[in-house]
């Protein structure tokens, strides 16, 4: 049985909450913010819990 490795690309983008759910940040918040509406920038703050349909990402993070 080979060693399990964490997919580093997924580890940088997702984190696991205390209850085991996956959390991610919103997109469109890095650059060119001057021509995006304030509402769009405000709604992109914080983080989001990933839907249950995308739980395959947990396979990429065996140790987190």
Per the CB < 8 A criterion, the answer to whether 64 and 6 are in contact is yes
SS3 45: coil
Domain-embedded: residue 18: yes
SS3 48: strand
Domain-embedded: residue 21: yes
Q: How many domains does the chain have?
A: 1
User: How far is Cα of residue 51 from the mean position of the Cα atoms in its chain?
Assistant: 11
Q: Please state the pTM of the whole predicted model.
A: 0.77
Distance of alpha carbon 43 from alpha carbon 1, whole angstroms: 45
Tokens encoding 48: 């989001």
Assign residue 16 the CATH number of its domain. 4.10.410.60
Reading the chain (64 residues) residue by residue, the pLDDT tens digits are 888 999 999 999 999 999 989 999 999 999 999 999 999 999 999 999 998 888 889 899 998 8
Residue 62: C-alpha distances to residues 34, 40, 42 (Å): 39, 34, 33
């Amino acid at each position: 049985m080979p060693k399990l490795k964490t997919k580093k690309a997924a580890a940088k983008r997702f984190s696991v909450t205390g209850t085991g759910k996956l959390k991610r940040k919103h997109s469109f918040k890095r650059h060119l913010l001057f021509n995006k509406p304030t509402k769009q920038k405000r709604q992109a703050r914080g983080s989001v819990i990933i839907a249950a349909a995308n739980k395959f990402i947990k396979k990429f993070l065996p140790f987190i």
